[in-house]
Structures are given as C-alpha cells and as structure tokens.
Amino acid sequence: MLKRGKPGRLDDANNLFQFDMNYRPALHVLLFLISCHTVVHAQNSIKTKDAVPINGIKQWIVADGKDNTKPVLLFLHGGPGFPSRPYAKKFVKLLRKDFIVVQWDQRASGLTQHFSPNSNALTLDLFHQDTYEVVDYLRKRFSRDKIFLAGFSWGGFLGLRYAHDHPENLHAYISVSSMIHNYESERRTLELLKDKAKNNPVALEEVKQVNIPFTSWEELYYQRKWTSAIIDGKPYKGEAVRLLFEKWSKTWFMLFQRASLVDYKMTAPQLACPVYFFLSRRDYVANHAVSEAYFKILEAQEKELIWFYESTHEIPGDEPKKFSAELIKIGRKQKE
C-alpha cells in the first residue's frame, strides 16, 4: 500500500507503476479493439458507379468487391459496342470476394454513350488510348502498381495490345475468346459453313453471298446467323437479330473491319507478363484454331491455355462458375 505524503520522484514512480499494473489489462483490451477497428476499416467492401473523365469524355466505370484490399480485375467487354453489365452478374458475384471487379462501358457504348454521346470518328487508336487511361485511372484510384486484365472477344483485341505495350502494369493478362486475327478466323469459319450448308439450300444461298473481308453488314449477319444455327445449334428467331446487326453496323462496322485485319501473331509475338488463354473448341466466332495457333507461337513470361468444354464463344456467360474459378486460381497463383 502506498504512503500518502508529498509527491516526490520515488512516490511518482511508484504511483505510475501502480497505475500501469492496475490498468494494464484495460489498456491491452483498448489496444486490441483499436487494432481490430483498423483491420475492419482496411477491409471495407467497395461498390462504386462513376462517370469518370477518360481521354476527353466521361466514361462509365463500375467497381464491386467485398474487400478493398484485394487485387483489381478489369474486364474488357466485347462487341464492339456490347457492355458486359447485362450478363456479368453471373460471374461478378462469384469473383467479388477475391477481386475488386471493374467493368467499363467503352466509348459509344452503354452508359458512356448516355453521358458522352459520341461525336468523334471511332478509331482503333482512340480505343487503345481509352484502355490505357482506364487502367491508369484504376491504378491511381486503388493505389495499385499492377492490376489483372481480362479481355473478352473485341475486349481481347484491346487487351492484347495493352498487354504488349504495358506489361509492367499487369499481374497477368487473360485472353478470353479474343480477336487474334479476325480476317483469318472468319475465313476458316466460312469454309466450314460452306461445307456444312451443302444440304440446306437456304443456308447455302446466303453463305455464298459472304466475302472475307466482309463488304457489308449483311454478310457479317449471314456469317453469324448460320454459325449460330448450323454449328451452335441455336437458330436466330424472327427479324430482331437482323435489325440489331443493321443498327449496330451504323456505328461499329468500319471499326470492326479495321480491327479484323490486325494479326497479333505478327504484331505481338511476345508478351512480357504472365498470359492465360481461355478457349472453347466450339468457338467459331473467334475461331479457336486461330487462337490456339497464336498461343503456340507466343513467347511470354509465363503462359497457360485453359479449355472450356460447355461454351461456344460466350465463355463468361456460358460457364460463369468455371470462368470465375479459373480467374481466382490465377489471382492466387500470382500472389505466391
């Protein structure tokens, strides 16, 4: 028991010692609670929807994740002109525990078109610059040196160029049913259609009208119509799809044609980051044989080909569980 008296150095030291002994348990609890609060705060979920200034216009970007400390995964949608949000719910809900999943409505598409009606001529260079600025924005927004990038179909066309030019900004690039050399892809698929349409006079008549490169949107429509009906077993119904192609062509056909002439076997024979190819042997839109041939000659820091057996071209929508599971494996592997 401490003696009462005038405070001196020894008494002060004793009092401080006694204070420490009496309150040390409470102090430990307080420190524990503070540390717990800090951890919880550092792992907040994130769900943002923003019109972000990108390359001179506002572009719509959505981010969704349960833990804002997880790596960023940017998904580049296909088309051109078809945002991923209508079908992405299938895989975003499976990925948001392991990634901050980002979707971007590209220029002249979806809500970006709503906020910034397109007035510029659409060029490949414009979209490549948009892609660069979106990745740069995400790296700054989430304080990341690198992100994961997945490109689907037309988005794969953009993603491959980005991976080639800026591998230092990527943990890995994931190519999903990508446009590798679309001119060659369409040529191979057309030859297959001509063979399979021999006993179908209507199909044969329309397929015979197709030229590669396409000279009109109708030729592209016939190619997709009979690929879906004869190869995929999913015939188009009514005139709605034809009208969609006609409307789409007014904005996108010429850009699609220019992209179709690019051959990544020639322009990107090497990638200086880990690369993963997601392919289906039933994909005759971005013909799987063309993609596989590119994969075989591609020199990369690390590369792996993953087959999807229940899909056609639409791997993310056809097999969302496997699509998500493989992305999670890649994310965890690159953390090792």
**Cβ-contact 57, 108 below 8 angstroms:** no
Query: In the prediction, which pLDDT does 17 show?
Result: 34
Write out pLDDT tens, residues 305-321.
Answer: 999 999 999 999 999 99
Query: In the prediction, which pLDDT does 336 show?
Result: 60
Burial letters 35-53, b for 16+ CB under 10 A, else e = eeeeeeeeeeebeeeebbe
Query: In the prediction, which pLDDT does 23 show?
Result: 38
Residue 8 binned pLDDT confidence (cut-offs 50, 70, 90): very low
What 3-state class would DSSP assign to 272? strand
Interatomic CA distance for residues 308 and 314, integer angstroms: 10
Name the percent of the chain lying above pLDDT 70.
87
Query: For 69-83, 105-119, 261-275, 290-304, which range has the lowest pLDDT when averaged over its residues?
Result: 105-119
Query: In the prediction, which pLDDT does 335 show?
Result: 75
Query: In the prediction, which pLDDT does 48 show?
Result: 96
- pLDDT at 47 > cutoff 90: yes
pTM of the model: 0.86
- pLDDT at 33 > cutoff 80: no
Per-residue pLDDT averaged across 149-166, rounded? 98
Q: Which residues pair with 299 in a beta bridge?
A: 270
Per-residue pLDDT averaged across 199-211, rounded? 96
Name the percent of the chain lying above pLDDT 90.
83
Per-residue pLDDT averaged across 6-16, rounded? 37
Query: In the prediction, which pLDDT does 295 show?
Result: 98
Query: In the prediction, which pLDDT does 110 show?
Result: 95
Query: For 26-35, 45-54, 321-330, which range has the lowest pLDDT when averaged over its residues?
Result: 26-35
Interatomic CA distance for residues 299 and 324, integer angstroms: 26
Tokens representing 219 are 């030729």
Residues 6+ apart with CB under 8 A from 308: 278, 279, 280, 315, 318, 319, 322, 323
Burial letters 139-152, b for 16+ CB under 10 A, else e = eebbebebbbbbbb
Domains of the chain: 46-180+263-335 (3.40.50.1820), 183-258 (no CATH)
- pLDDT at 32 > cutoff 90: no
Closest by alpha carbon to 255, among 182, 176, 331, 159? 182
Query: In the prediction, which pLDDT does 119 show?
Result: 72
Write out pLDDT tens, residues 250-277.
Answer: 999 999 999 999 999 999 999 999 999 9
